[in-house]
């Protein structure tokens, strides 16, 4: 089972990947974060496997970070136990200011330390 300290580090990398501008670095990060057959669920869609998840991350980056100038940031501490964690995040203007969107990810991690299941819950 994955150690708690490595879960916290995984959560940091999870937030960072959404802000990554370099395509190759983002692809590499996706491979390091999610398992090969991971399932990522939002209220609107399901993404199965690294290729689909990479597409989701790239599309979010292009729309929110590149085009609109937002950045994703962790909000508060990560809650974790038994290979599961809750990661809270905000999307804020890069220049600073209040969050325009907030949410939580519930992540279940496999024995190799990769995210196997990723569920998004939006607050705003």
What CATH code is carried by the domain that includes residue 94?
A: 3.10.450.50
Mean pLDDT confidence for 3-22: 88
- Domain residues for the domain of 62 are 4-122
Per DSSP, 113 falls in state: S
Total domain count for the chain?
A: 1
pTM of the model: 0.92
Cα→Cα distances 9→2, 66, 68, 70, 103, Å: 11, 25, 28, 23, 19
In the structure, what pLDDT confidence band is assigned to residue 124 with cuts at 50, 70 and 90?
Answer: confident
What residues contact residue 50 under an 8 Å CB cut-off, 6+ apart? Answer: 30, 31, 34, 36, 38
Please choose, from the candidates 102, 76, 75, the residue with its C-alpha nearest in 3D space to the C-alpha of residue 91.
Answer: 102
d(CA 64, CA 101): 11
Mean pLDDT confidence for 7-18: 94
pLDDT in tens, 14-65: 999 999 999 999 999 999 999 999 999 999 999 999 999 999 999 999 999 9
The answer to whether 89 touches 105, Cβ cutoff 8 Å, is yes
């Amino acid at each position: 089972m994955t150690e708690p300290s490595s879960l916290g580090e995984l959560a940091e990398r999870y937030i960072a990947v959404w802000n990554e501008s370099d395509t190759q670095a983002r692809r590499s990060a996706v491979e390091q974060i999610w398992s090969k057959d991971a399932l990522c669920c939002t209220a609107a869609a399901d993404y199965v496997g690294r290729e689909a998840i990479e597409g989701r991350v790239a599309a979010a980056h292009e729309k929110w970070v590149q085009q609109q100038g937002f950045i994703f940031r962790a909000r508060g501490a990560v809650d974790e136990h038994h290979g599961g964690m809750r990661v809270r995040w905000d999307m804020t203007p890069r220049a600073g200011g209040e969050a325009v969107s907030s949410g939580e990810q519930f992540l279940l991690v496999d024995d190799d330390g990769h995210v196997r299941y990723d569920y998004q819950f939006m607050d705003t």
